[in-house]
Structure 1
Amino acid sequence: MDYPRDHEHRSGALQSRLHAAHDGRDLLRATGDGRGDRRHGRGAHLGGHERERIYGPGPQRHPALHAGLPGRHAVREQRSARGPRQRRAPGRRGGGVPLHRSEDRRVPGRAGGTDTAGQAPVPLGSRRRARERRSVVNSALDGITVVDLTQGVAGPFCTRLLAQMGARVIKVERPGSGDLIREWDTHVNGMCSGHVWVNPGKESIALDLSQPEGQDILLQLVARADVLVENFVPGTLERWGLTPQRIREARPDLILCRISGFGQDGPYAERSALDLIIQGETGLITTNGTQDEPAKISLSVADLSGAMYATTSILQSLFHRERTQQGQDIDLALFDSVMTWTGYFPYMWWYQGQRPGRVGLHHHTMFPYGTYRAGDGKGVIVAAGAGSRDQWQRFCEAIDHLELVDHPDYLTNGLRLANREALSEIVQGAIGSRPQAYWLARFHEVGIPSGALNEFDEGLDHPRMHHRGMVREVDSAVGKVKVLDYPPQFSSLETVNELGPPLLGEHTDALLAELGLEPGAVAKLRESGITA
């Protein structure tokens, strides 16, 4: 079937041309040819789709997750009763309640509700325009819609970033279980900490994409979207009949980003791959840890590298589309991504035939550069091995060992690396003679980069966190939850932290209503297991 390709903001352009069938199996049969009057001239789509959101009543919340807690719609109603908020000055960052600063930087929630009985379906966002326009109008991706088929970390973290840039992100999940990350733990009031990390800012719709009816709904969403991101094992969508060609029929200028462990074709392409597997396959684990034992990198570094490249490639493709009106297929492999983050390690092997050894809390190519235990037992990280003689001399003065400055074993960084064990004993003896606070002040005084080896809770309570207001609070079905703000700060652009992590299928009914489905048709879809 053909899908609407409406690209501009004419009245009714975002309504679905669908009607319900009697048997509930052909619920998305198109009327007419299903096409809009999209114009293809240069600049026809500048600004992307109008980004607007309607939140009607979602599915019933799971009692184990929210007993006694107000849902986000109830919170919005409470906010509306307070009256409109004042528009903030340009450059201020939007959304969420800052925990570390007294200033209220919250952004009004999006309006919600259902269509009035007897009226035609309301075009996407017209209620919001008629009521309270949200204040984050300077977000970079305002007007961009992303359909998110991802799960785990790599894909969801990518779309989380896009949401914070202002895109509308519609997360499509399997009915019953949803994103696999939902089940990893229950740390956040019954919700998984990973889900709260990577999925705030998104709407969740539950769809069975292996069934034709679920696929039809997906393609209707795609027809109104700018970007689709997926990270299934390669071949999964094709086995369901959701080929790139079929997806692109719904939206010819779509940005289609496909994230996988080893790419869509070639060796290992058919293998599933989580972060630890990629760390192992790339050899990264063998570079980390102590001489006695390797260790995985505690962060999901392979997933995160893929997420960052996926995000930048999507932004790159959107910019290209503005110039050419052309869509883009992006094939992104986690293996490729994290390999480009291995720094100088490849060059050690390519040009010296040396495998990077494991150096624990020290540096592979500079010395002294690492952690030492101060007299009070606290760790001091010092970076005095950049190779500059002036820095080396200042470091020796700071630790009261001027005799080391011109010592033949330590004159250059290469010599210091070759004799690191003996030099490390001298440095440790000096730093171990005084408390951490003394050394941090002393090294700062003489211009030697240094820092504290903190416990993680100390990092969360760091003065920088308080000054920056990095921790925000957003409403969710399990109450207010903490999220981290988008790190860059802009002179005029704003970032968005409005929605908390959604329940599975929390926005299914509202999204299907946007597509023009009547409640009876939605009920049949739910009864047949197509949605939930």
Structure 2
Amino acid sequence: MTAVMQGVRVLEVAEHTFVPAASALLADWGADVVKIEHVERGDAMRALGSTGVATIPSDVHVLLEHSNRGKRSLGLDLTSPEGLDILYKLAAQSDVFLTNKLPGVRTKLKIDLEEIRAANPDIIYVRGTGQGERGPDADKGAYDSLAFWSRAGVAAGTMQPEHGHVPVPPGPAFGDSLGAMTIAGGIMGALYHRERTGETSVVDVSLLGTGLWAIGAGIALSMQLNFPWSPPPLDAVRANPLADNYRTKDGRWVALCCLQAGKYWPPLCEALGRPELATDPRFADHSTLMANSGAAAEILREVFASHTVDECRGMLADFVGQWTVVQDTLEAVADPQTVANGYIQDCENAAGAPFRLVAAPVQYNEQPAAPKRCPEFNEHGDDILAGLGLDWDAVVDLKVRGIVA
């Protein structure tokens, strides 16, 4: 894998997942990331014991690893003048400053744009926020389940009124991880712009903005048609029977997405062992198939319901149309395409305990980026301070006074 970010230095003052996962991606691609953590407790994620759905095992904190792999850690008291002086010296050596602190906190800590740019006029200043840098809620915190999922319309876009509840995100840090990729891309664009023009940039990414973009096509139609976007009712008849989900005999699901229904109807009928349906007058061409979509869908429901999911896999193996089995997360990990492309990577934590992580979704030169492990709290503190020219006596004095961990 080409380390496209090699030589880029990132200074992070952030916690949880949304913003830290962005610099984790940059670290995967070769950047040197220094993570500044609270001098006593470290990143708040280190103490997270449960997602609300599942308890995090004690041997490997995979959520922490997901968003902090490949970094160096320094515990630093940013409320002290000496701690701030160390931060500014690190900023002077960095290409990117990355934070998710709210505007009021940034002002209080003296790490806002003006202070960081005073230490390094050429630094790219990056802010990850819940609802954006401007507006009445700019100084309010948020999580991805709120700003990305609920506020941006994503939850409503997946909500079935028949179920009588608001669906939860499909996994922990769902919007955070998408937002992190957005931040990483924004940073790379800012670096490229600085390289070409010499001009530095301020980069802003919010969970709300990322959520709006994620459902942006639906929002565009919603605005044009002037009604809120929502999924079709569960009993709705699809206009295209080859763009629907079908339940199998063993309670699994097969998803079809053949947008050119007339083209793919004959080979689907052949694959499913019902070739006579291809010449049925009701389904003879695209227009008649669309006109009789309800009848076609009912036949497909009966066919799929008479076979197990493995039998369906076999029947559809050579089908030229677009389809997949609806897989759970463990099946997705074992998917032959996942394996062949290296989308899951083996890792070890600081104690040598093995675990696996999803690789960065962007590959360079046909090689996945192998993620390194998350640092232990303040693991690299002494080395980072030595890199600033501090001798051991000065470091010990800072430790005794609680300025560094």
For Structure 1 versus Structure 2, the TM-score category normalised by the shorter chain is: 0.7 to 0.9
Q: Which of residues 503, 516, 523 in structure 1 aligns to 2:396?
A: 523
Q: Secondary structure at the match of 1:344?
A: helix
Are 1:176 and 2:40 matched, yes or no?
yes
Contact 2:124 2:200 in 1 (8 A): yes
Aligned to 1:64: none
What does 1:82-231 correspond to in 2, within 5 Å? 93=1, 138-185=2-49, 187=56, 189-231=58-100
Are 1:296 and 2:165 matched, yes or no?
no
Aligned to 2:247: 373
How does the TM-score come out when normalised to structure 2?
0.86
Are 1:395 and 2:268 matched, yes or no?
yes
* Alignment gaps of 5+ in structure 1: 1-92, 94-137
How does the TM-score come out when normalised to structure 1?
0.67
Bigger CA drift: 393-402 or 203-212?
393-402
Contact 2:240 2:261 in 1 (8 A): no
Q: How has the CA–CA distance of structure 1 residues 197 and 393 changed in structure 2, closer, same or farther, with 3 Å as cutoff? A: same
Q: Distance in 1 between matches of 2:221 and 2:61?
A: 41
The alpha-carbon deviation at position 187 of structure 1 amounts to 3.5
1:228 is aligned with what amino acid?
F
2:243 is aligned with what amino acid?
Y
The alpha-carbon deviation at position 407 of structure 1 amounts to 8.9
Q: Secondary structure at the match of 1:292?
A: helix
Contact 1:379 1:436 in 2 (8 A): yes
Contact 1:140 1:493 in 2 (8 A): no
Aligned to 1:430: 303
Are 1:487 and 2:378 matched, yes or no?
no
Bigger CA drift: 265-274 or 222-231?
265-274
Q: Distance in 2 between matches of 1:453 and 1:493?
A: 27
Are 1:337 and 2:337 matched, yes or no?
no
Q: Distance in 1 between matches of 2:379 and 2:262?
A: 61
Aligned to 2:198: 325
After superposition, give the CA deviation of every residue in 1:104-160 in whole Å (9 maximum; x if it has no partner).
Answer: xxxxxxxxxxxxxxxxxxxxxxxxxxxxxxxxxx41111111001121111111101
Contact 1:189 1:478 in 2 (8 A): no
The alpha-carbon deviation at position 209 of structure 1 amounts to 1.2
Q: How has the CA–CA distance of structure 1 residues 264 and 156 changed in structure 2, closer, same or farther, with 3 Å as cutoff? A: same
Are 1:315 and 2:185 matched, yes or no?
no
Contact 2:33 2:71 in 1 (8 A): yes
After superposition, give the CA deviation of every residue in 1:454-490 in whole Å (9 maximum; x if it has no partner).
Answer: 3322222222333334433344322143333333443
Are 1:259 and 2:104 matched, yes or no?
no
Q: Distance in 1 between matches of 2:237 and 2:167?
A: 16
Q: Distance in 1 between matches of 2:80 and 2:192?
A: 34
Task: Give the root-mean-square deviation of aligned CA atoms.
Answer: 2.8
The alpha-carbon deviation at position 322 of structure 1 amounts to 0.9
Are 1:447 and 2:320 matched, yes or no?
yes
After superposition, give the CA deviation of every residue in 1:57-80 in whole Å (9 maximum; x if it has no partner).
Answer: xxxxxxxxxxxxxxxxxxxxxxxx
Contact 1:471 1:485 in 2 (8 A): yes
Q: Distance in 2 between matches of 1:408 and 1:363?
A: 17
Q: Distance in 2 between matches of 1:463 and 1:440?
A: 13
More RCO (CA 8 Å, sep 6+): 1
After superposition, give the CA deviation of every residue in 1:184-215 in whole Å (9 maximum; x if it has no partner).
Answer: 23745534221011111001101111221111
- Percent identity reads 26
Contact 1:288 1:297 in 2 (8 A): no
Contact 1:444 1:450 in 2 (8 A): no
2:153 is aligned with what amino acid?
G
2:30 is aligned with what amino acid?
G
Q: Distance in 2 between matches of 1:391 and 1:359?
A: 24
Aligned to 1:274: 143
Q: Distance in 1 between matches of 2:36 and 2:373?
A: 16
Aligned to 1:357: 230
Bigger CA drift: 468-477 or 257-266?
468-477
Higher percent of residues as helix: 2
Contact 1:148 1:171 in 2 (8 A): yes
After superposition, give the CA deviation of every residue in 1:287-315 in whole Å (9 maximum; x if it has no partner).
Answer: 11434233122143432332122111111
Q: How has the CA–CA distance of structure 1 residues 523 and 243 changed in structure 2, closer, same or farther, with 3 Å as cutoff? A: same
Q: How has the CA–CA distance of structure 1 residues 184 and 363 changed in structure 2, closer, same or farther, with 3 Å as cutoff? A: farther
Contact 1:145 1:169 in 2 (8 A): yes
Q: Secondary structure at the match of 1:147?
A: strand
After superposition, give the CA deviation of every residue in 1:410-448 in whole Å (9 maximum; x if it has no partner).
Answer: 643xx67xx66x654432111112232332233343312
Contact 1:306 1:334 in 2 (8 A): yes
1:485 is aligned with what amino acid?
A
The alpha-carbon deviation at position 239 of structure 1 amounts to 1.5
After superposition, give the CA deviation of every residue in 1:226-275 in whole Å (9 maximum; x if it has no partner).
Answer: 01110112221112222311211211111111010112222310110100
1:308 is aligned with what amino acid?
M
Q: Secondary structure at the match of 2:204?
A: strand
Q: Distance in 2 between matches of 1:173 and 1:157?
A: 15
Are 1:283 and 2:153 matched, yes or no?
yes
Contact 1:140 1:166 in 2 (8 A): yes
The alpha-carbon deviation at position 217 of structure 1 amounts to 0.7
Contact 2:222 2:228 in 1 (8 A): yes
Aligned to 2:52: none
Aligned pairs, number: 389
Aligned to 2:256: 382
After superposition, give the CA deviation of every residue in 1:1-21 in whole Å (9 maximum; x if it has no partner).
Answer: xxxxxxxxxxxxxxxxxxxxx
1:486 is aligned with what amino acid?
A
The alpha-carbon deviation at position 363 of structure 1 amounts to 11
What does 1:412-431 correspond to in 2, within 5 Å? 412=290, 424-431=297-304
Contact 1:171 1:202 in 2 (8 A): yes
2:10 is aligned with what amino acid?
V
Are 1:460 and 2:338 matched, yes or no?
no
Aligned to 2:105: 236
* Alignment gaps of 5+ in structure 2: 50-54
Contact 2:10 2:98 in 1 (8 A): yes
The alpha-carbon deviation at position 351 of structure 1 amounts to 2.3
Q: Distance in 2 between matches of 1:480 and 1:349?
A: 48
1:325 is aligned with what amino acid?
G
Contact 2:78 2:84 in 1 (8 A): yes
Q: Secondary structure at the match of 2:214?
A: coil
